[in-house]
Structure 1
Amino acid sequence: MARYLAFVIVVGLVVWCVLDISRSSDEERLGVHPLLWMALVVLVPVLGAILWILVSRGRRAAARQAGGGTGGSASGGSSWTPRRRSGPVAPDDDPDFLRKLDEERRRREQGTGDGSPAS
């Protein structure tokens, strides 16, 4: 069972590294073509994956420190940084939505207060 688990972990690591390489910038790859990095990771899975992780994370950390913590590069690098949404996340966070609900509630209350049957 442990052999299968180790195999699954190595395959998952290789797949993750290949996807990470495909999204990386030229600076993160040290100028090496992505297919060469992918070949290294696939042909020498554990060593190639560890090497890729060390190189790419080191370059990303250096870019963040040099760039003032922005995490991106001017050349359109694809290092991921979390973004805050500009608008509300849920309807109850949206002031326009809450205002419309309040207006609708007031209309219903006014409509039922004039003697008409409540629904």
Structure 2
Amino acid sequence: MIRYLPIIIVALLTIYCVVEVAQARPLEVRRMPRWLWATIIICLPLAGAVCWLFFGRPNAESRRRFQQRPKAPDDDVDFLRGL
């Protein structure tokens, strides 16, 4: 049982990373497009997953860079402050 543990860990890590790539917003993903990250993670399970976690995953800086503007005036804090 213990000798199968590394295989199970790599499989779970790969599944986690593929799901995370699928849920990430396209503009927040760093370095490469999402489809390329998903291909790398599937083709190179351990190396691709580790690279995704360190180099491709959205972080606070990438989220801030592509932050969406409010859609309606009542959602905009600056607009409401000026009333």
Q: Does 1:34 align with 2:34?
A: yes
SS in 2 for 1:73: coil
Identity %: 28
Gaps of 5+ in 1: 76-119
C-alpha distance in 1 between matches for 2:67 and 2:40 = 25
Moved beyond 4 Å, runs of 4+: none
Please show how residues 64-83 of structure 1 align to structure 2 within 5 Å.
66=64, 73-74=67-68
CA contact (8 A) 1:21 1:38 kept: yes
Q: TM-score, normalised by structure 1?
A: 0.48
Which amino acid in the other structure matches residue 61 of structure 2? A
Q: TM-score, normalised by structure 2?
A: 0.65
Aligned to 1:60: 59
Higher relative contact order (CA 8 A, sep 6+): 2
How many Å apart are 1:39 and its aligned residue? 1.1
RMSD (Å), alpha carbons? 2.5
Count of matched residue positions in the alignment of Structure 1 and Structure 2: 69
